[in-house]
Structure 1
Amino acid sequence: MTVQFLAEIAYHGMCHEIGTPEEVSYRREILDNQEFLDNRLRRKNHCEIMNSGSRKEGFRLKESDIDIMMIIPRHRVIWDMSHSELYNTQEQTLILCNTSESPLGFALLSLPFENPSKRDYSDCVRINGGLYISSSKFREYKCSCATPNSTIHGPCRSKHIGKAMYDFVHCFVSDFWPPAASSWIDRCHSWPQKHVTDEIVRNGCHFVAIGHKVGNHADIEWRISFSQAENKLIYSMNHTQFLTYGLLKLFLNEVINAGLSDEEKLLCSYHMKTAIFWAIQQNMLPQWCPKNILAGFWICFKLILKWVYEGVCPNFFIPKNNLFLSRIYGEDQRNLFRRLYHLYEKGFFLLLHISSMIHYIPQGFIFPGRLIVSGDCNLGSEYVFDFKLSEEIKNCDRLSVNNLQDCAKALLVIEQLIYLPLNSYTVIMLQQITATILQRTAFVLHNKYIDKNDNKNIYIRDKKACHLLRLSMKFGYLSDMLYIAMFYYKTFRYKEALSIIDISKVKMSQPYVMLDEAQRWAYTEAVGGRPWFIKMRQAMTKNLILDNKICYITELLLEQQSSYLGNRHYINIPPCILLCLLEYLSCRHNDTLRSQTALDNLQALVNNKDVIVHDLTLDISWEILGICQQITGNIQAARFSFQQSLKQYPVFGIELATRQRINTL
């Protein structure tokens, strides 16, 4: 088998594992627009968020953390006191950067203008009369103010939310490019392009709260972060370069660091990123194209091998900043080099050690002498593409809007975005977010006037709320019909609620509704090639999101309060579970037979081991079953269901409510 043929197989395999150009593009577009919306809706005294890390770059690797930078508002880092003339010191707290006493890539941050009325100085220390912000005190303070169960990890505050690990890092921003990185600008002849370089320099840098281990002021120093610049560089890569970077990450996780504890891992993904940056900029490969993906990987691997041998990994922006300093040296360095060189001697056979890649490599390569057959190069059906895109849109539907002012502001921002040149994926995302905002507006509008006795006022807000919910169905998913059913139940119109439930049952039970692999052929036959808004309305469902600051169903209010106290913003309920709950509640007074049938269906769904009810929603699903059994009077069954809820992974933080319900039994 030729290396070129193996490279083509590797390229197609990486498109499966990492994503096609189109998939990577819409991931970035959707996340960037969600970030933009989120920041536009934040109040001025709140931190601006900036996604970073592999998710921002366009990867969706299972083992990756979710990295979010929180930019401290109304603070700006300056490099020279002359820069202070560019700012209104009444509005901004200026921080002076001093790099003279720190290793390259690090700095001390002082406050030249002290003003106790504008800032709390508990995270500061005095050195030779100057007031400096201590990185260690700053980290501890931010972690103490955060949600429970947060831990400090490097400059980050780490916390599990659901089954994902989130790394939040609070940082300061500078509008100026670091003088120590000025040589990088001069190196940018062929890559990146001039407009990318100019934009990177124009956007400056950030400072994160971690010092250098060998510095004189490790507890006070701050590290210069080029995270924003790195994201722009990755966005400017072609797809082969991006997949090569992805292959390096898989190689790191599944081969180099496989089976090692966090303390034993000497190389990290940032070293892989640094290698691909240097390889591209130094033109180490004349042409980055699919047939050369293995050549690109091999160049980067040899570069890393060279760095480990020499004990020097030059930072891409500040080359004199050795990323291996105080990390890879002595016996650890020699052992790491021996391990890497052993892999190097295997040549391209080392691909067989990457578990994510092995099933794409033909058996003729693994077992010489057999007939060479092509690898699985099918890049997925329309169903698979639509499923992935739908999941991406669902994950970004997380705007925190729970009052009329925020809802109106969000709609205004979306209206402004609509007039911009948008791709089809962004339009789909904005449609779904619009549907969510309309749904929340309807319930907020109802709750706002719930205690008013003015019948005319009640009628008007009720009519408006119903109109908003019907309008949301034009933009949202098939399962969004259940918001109308919830509203009818909430306003005691049980007959209308059951009518919507019956329609939902018929529509969501169609064989082409996107649930699992079994539906892919029926889905393609029914809605294949049709516009996305039709696919969403006819063949796609999603979990119903209950914002914990909005009352949707009185019976779930205790769970929402418990979730809110656990620092969760919302509860997700599978549509099939919510449908059974609403059917049970709506007919329990006048149709006991149907209510019992709904309860039996609910129990069957929760006990079903299929993927209809995802394991990340089992805590609330068991809880809902217990609530219905408690209402029915089946105390023993209710206790069992509540206990089962406590055994599930606490995604939504409803344990307090569950224990309260058990105690009331």
Structure 2
Amino acid sequence: MIYNAINDKTLISSGSLAEGLDLPGSDLDIMYVLTNVDVIDNIRNIKPPKQRCTCTLVMVTDHNHPGFTRLRLVETLNEGIRFFGDVFERTTDGFYLSVNGFINEIKKMNSHNQLSTHGPCLTFKDQNTDVAFCYRSKCFPLNAIPWVWRYRRQWPPDFVIDQIKQYGCLIVPVGPKYISDFDSLWRLSFSVAEKQLVHSFNFTQLLCYGLLKLTLKRIVNTNNDIKDLLCSYFLKTALFWVSEEVDIDTFQIPKLFTCFFLCLNRLISWVNNCYCPNYFIPQHNMFLGKITPDNNKTLSHVLSSIQVGGIDRFMRILFSPYNAMYLLLRTKSETSFIKLDFLFYRIHSQFETKDISQCYKVLTLIESLRKSESSAFIIDVCKIYYALLCQYAVQVIPPPITINKMHNIHKSYHRHLQDGIKADAVSGWLYYASFYYVIGQYNVTLKLTDYVISRCLPDMVHLVFDDSEERFNSYRQNVHSTMTLFERINIAAVGSVDYLKHSSLIPGELRLEVKHSDICIPSIVMSHCLRFLCYHHHDNICNRQQALRDLYLAVEKELDKGYKRISDSLTILGVCMYVRK
């Protein structure tokens, strides 16, 4: 059950960056929604046999723990039975999916990635990214239904409420923090709904959200006695409640600080009462096990002092001349475009594709958006995304070796490969090089890799992203504000080569590496790998040895730099060393 689900998943981005905020410390979290399991709210909603997934689970509401559910096994196909003892708890009323059993099974199935547990998330050893594996229920939770119908002013708009209800919710493997021995409780997550709500904010609501997050980082969390008692999720919840209860006209720029202090007052009230009502399920007190009568006094005092100090004192603390935000506000306009570029580079590769029809649908959507946009920056973003999608689309059409005639090869591949060149300075050329390698034109592959290596200079910005000051300065030397984003990324940025699962472009020697999952390889590493393989086919031992040494040095350099997907590069090196034998 777990194995099949891992290979049938949907990727969802969450966190501040996904919501549209790029503040110091902003993150981009990844949620993998496992799609090979049906989660239903009532046994009567079970699908007909031919439409069912590997496993069907029914949500069992636990009234003692609002905001959580248990997942009882209804039915499983034969391939899921072998995991019964590890991932299900047997009780008098059936089998319930175990949180710890589920996480341990995920880690076992991904043992090559050396995953470590971090709350409900798992962290890859060679990455700084937390990923949460979860399930989706297409049914909106019964105890959240009152949210749909309760009285509110103008926000959120009706169409957003309808979208949220239709999506349902996610179910993540983490139980209540205030109990330690209940392994079958899963948290109901409204991450997708919350992202939709934030995206429906007007500009003042978004600014208010940013002020709240900065308050947490620069004021509250600087006090060691209360550090980490609050989290940005509580602040966002306060903003949701206030936005719903006041007239939307309150959220106007001249009233920004009025809105901020409304949210702050709400937060102070919650802290004093040790009760933070979940926005969707108010019966769920999110402070349980975290903020108690034993620790709320200092926190309440700090929050109240912000209120008493007024706007001037608040701004002096928040935007001190010595902190990074103040420096950001003073940044010269001629370099501000770089910060916008770097924000885009941080989030630009969050794509997931499963089949060619999905690629074509997204390509059509992007092209439509580009034609309707007036912003030059957004138009360039569309062009880059279009090129990136073409790099994926070309990998999910039939392998080029199955097409006999050259004009058919060009008809099937050439258009996507040409468009994919425009995604950044080099990665598109490497897909072209891979294409020619797969069809046996090794000399063409060598010429293309020569070009790529000549472009992979030390001062190029890598899109598997490092936003250090050194990278910022290097980028500034290579670009200027009169260039468009599209020109800048194609002059000064280097992307990686992402081979999709079962990619038709990956060299045959590496095909096993994409049998179960994607693989991401730095362009410089893949260039030397292709050169090694070409010389191997030419039986050119001298150049093959040199290419292998260059590959080794490239991987070593990536390792020294702390490249986040270094395990993929090490795998490529290992395969080439094996081929040499």
Given the two structures, how large is their TM-score scaled by the length of structure 2?
Answer: 0.74
Q: Within the alignment, does 1:321 sit opposite 2:287 as a pair?
A: no
Cα deviation 1:261-299 (Å, max 9, x = unaligned): 9x9621111101111111211218852122322332222
Shift of 1:61: 4.2
Partner SS state of residue 287, structure 2: coil
Q: 1:472 aligns with which of 408, 416, 419?
A: 419
* Number of aligned residues: 543
Q: Which residue of 2 aligns with 1:572?
A: 522
Contact preservation (8 Å) 1:250, 1:356: no
**Matched letter for residue 31 of structure 2:** M
Q: Which residue of 2 aligns with 1:621?
A: none
Partner SS state of residue 188, structure 2: strand
1:49-60 mapped onto 2 (5 Å cutoff): 49-60=11-22
Q: Which residue of 2 aligns with 1:274?
A: 237
Q: Within the alignment, does 1:66 sit opposite 2:31 as a pair?
A: no
Q: Within the alignment, does 1:543 sit opposite 2:507 as a pair?
A: no
Cα deviation 1:369-417 (Å, max 9, x = unaligned): xxxxx96487777844773476267423x5567xxxx5x4455434553
Q: Which residue of 2 aligns with 1:649?
A: 562
Partner SS state of residue 223, structure 1: strand
Cα deviation 1:570-609 (Å, max 9, x = unaligned): 11226xx98999999999xxxxxxxxxxxxxxxxxxxxxx
Shift of 1:331: 2.5
Q: Within the alignment, does 1:337 sit opposite 2:250 as a pair?
A: no
Shift of 1:569: 1.2
Q: 1:96 aligns with which of 58, 82, 85?
A: 58
**Cα distance, 1:457–1:284 mapped onto 2, change above 3 Å:** closer
Query: Percent of aligned pairs with the same residue?
Result: 21
Shift of 1:642: 6.9
Q: Which residue of 1 aligns with 2:137?
A: 173
Contact preservation (8 Å) 1:481, 1:500: no
Q: 2:546 aligns with which of 625, 631, 637?
A: 631
Shift of 1:46: 0.8
Q: 1:151 aligns with which of 94, 102, 116?
A: 116
Deviates more, 1:288-297 or 1:75-84: 75-84
Q: Distance in 2 between matches of 1:509 and 1:135?
A: 46
Contact preservation (8 Å) 1:102, 1:221: no
Contact preservation (8 Å) 1:97, 1:108: yes
1:41-440 mapped onto 2 (5 Å cutoff): 46-61=8-23, 63-84=25-46, 87-92=47-52, 93-111=55-73, 113-115=74-76, 117=78, 119-120=80-81, 121-122=84-85, 123-147=87-111, 148-159=113-124, 162=127, 164-183=128-147, 185-214=149-178, 218-258=182-222, 265-283=228-246, 287-348=250-311, 349-354=313-318, 376=330, 383-384=337-338, 387-388=341-342, 391=345, 394-396=348-350, 398-399=351-352, 406=355, 408-409=356-357, 411-414=359-362, 417=365, 423-424=372-373, 425=378, 427-437=382-392, 440=395
Shift of 1:457: 3.6
**Matched letter for residue 155 of structure 1:** P
Contact preservation (8 Å) 1:501, 1:579: no
Partner SS state of residue 295, structure 2: helix
**Matched letter for residue 70 of structure 2:** L
Q: Which runs of 5+ in 2 are unaligned?
A: 461-472, 536-541
Q: Distance in 1 between matches of 2:192 and 2:307?
A: 33
**Matched letter for residue 117 of structure 1:** N
Q: Distance in 1 between matches of 2:207 and 2:325?
A: 16
Shift of 1:58: 1.6
Shift of 1:435: 3.6
Q: Which residue of 1 aligns with 2:466?
A: none
Contact preservation (8 Å) 1:49, 1:68: yes
Q: CA RMSD in A?
A: 5.2
**Cα distance, 1:63–1:628 mapped onto 2, change above 3 Å:** farther
**Matched letter for residue 73 of structure 1:** T
Q: Which residue of 2 aligns with 1:368?
A: none
Q: Distance in 1 between matches of 2:80 and 2:531?
A: 54
Partner SS state of residue 212, structure 1: coil
Partner SS state of residue 331, structure 1: coil
**Cα distance, 1:187–1:137 mapped onto 2, change above 3 Å:** farther
Q: Distance in 1 between matches of 2:284 and 2:445?
A: 70
Q: Distance in 2 between matches of 1:360 and 1:45?
A: 42
Contact preservation (8 Å) 1:315, 1:322: yes
Deviates more, 1:234-243 or 1:58-67: 58-67
Deviates more, 1:288-297 or 1:417-426: 417-426
User: Which structure has the greater CA radius of gyration?
Assistant: 1
**Cα distance, 1:504–1:203 mapped onto 2, change above 3 Å:** same
Q: Distance in 2 between matches of 1:563 and 1:287?
A: 55
Partner SS state of residue 140, structure 1: helix
Q: Which runs of 5+ in 1 are unaligned?
A: 1-41, 364-373, 450-455, 588-626
**Cα distance, 1:546–1:305 mapped onto 2, change above 3 Å:** closer
Contact preservation (8 Å) 1:276, 1:300: yes
Partner SS state of residue 224, structure 1: strand
Cα deviation 1:401-448 (Å, max 9, x = unaligned): 7xxxx5x44554345536866654474244213441466579x845x3
Contact preservation (8 Å) 2:66, 2:283: yes
Q: Which residue of 1 aligns with 2:465?
A: none
Shift of 1:660: 9.2
Q: Which residue of 1 aligns with 2:441?
A: 491
Partner SS state of residue 493, structure 1: helix
Q: Which residue of 1 aligns with 2:539?
A: none
**Matched letter for residue 116 of structure 2:** T
Q: Which residue of 2 aligns with 1:24?
A: none
Shift of 1:227: 1.9
Contact preservation (8 Å) 2:478, 2:492: no
Q: Distance in 1 between matches of 2:57 and 2:396?
A: 41
Q: Distance in 1 between matches of 2:177 and 2:405?
A: 65
